[in-house]
Amino acid sequence: MSSTSSRSQGGGRTAPSPHGAAVIDVYAALPAGLYRYDPVHHCLALKRAADVRSMTGYQDFVGMAPLDLVYVANHGRMQDVPPKLHETFAAAAAGAMVQNVYLYCASAGLGAVVRGWLNRRQLAEHMSLNEDEEPILSQTVGRPAPHDSAPV
């Protein structure tokens, strides 16, 4: 999870965000539960003791790989952003984080697949999110399957 960890000085991140407001939260959906990544303490905080991996997309490999990351836009932290730019800014911020994970995976011999095709409302319910929070991307991480780009 080094993709979103703080820079060593100044409390910054390795992904940009509008006004430095950290408008995207990263969740890790693991077999044992759903965890929110805490970038300040660089740790995972349990959100739900439930396996929600299969809710993070529609394809068959979803739910089979060991890890699905979910990028959640926090609209409450975008009060300084004009409403018509919320979606663009959230997508750009999440995209930078997604790319960091792709780069890490490439360096570690892992596979990754990002997904925008997901049932946001249903996933938000399974993640126990509030009305300010919206899952906008998910990303499966795992070992690349032979003859297949989908991670397992």
Ligand X SMILES: Cc1cc2nc3c(=O)[nH]c(=O)nc-3n(C[C@H](O)[C@H](O)[C@H](O)COP(=O)(O)O)c2cc1C
Q: Is 117 in the site for ligand X (CB under 6 A)?
A: yes
- Residues 120 to 149: which contact ligand X by CB under 6 A? 149
Minimum CB separation of residue 54 from ligand X in Å reads: 14
| Shortest distance (Å) from residue 117 CB to ligand X | 3
Give, as ranges, the residues between 46 and 85 that touch ligand X (CB under 6 A): 59
Take residue 42 and report the two structure tokens written for it. Answer: 């660089």
Quick check: 115 binds ligand X (CB under 6 A)? yes
Shorter beta-carbon distance to ligand X: residue 60 or 131: 60
Extract the tokens encoding 129: 């999110």
Tell me the chain's radius of gyration from C-alpha atoms. 15
The region, left, alpha or beta by phi > 0 then psi within -120 to 50, assigned to residue 121 is: alpha
CB of 141 to ligand X, least distance (A): 13
Exactly one of 12, 46, 116, 148 binds ligand X (CB under 6 A); which one? 116
At residue 112, the 3 state secondary structure works out as: strand
- Between the CA of residue 32 and those of 3, 107, 115, 124, 128, what are the distances in Å? 22, 26, 22, 18, 16
Q: Between 17 and 138, name the residue whose CB sits nearer to ligand X.
A: 138
* Residue 58 beta carbon to ligand X: minimum distance, rounded to whole angstroms: 8
- Between vectors from CA 91 to CA 90 and to CA 94, what angle results, nearest 5°? 85
Q: Interface residues with ligand X (CB under 6 A)?
A: 59, 113-117, 149
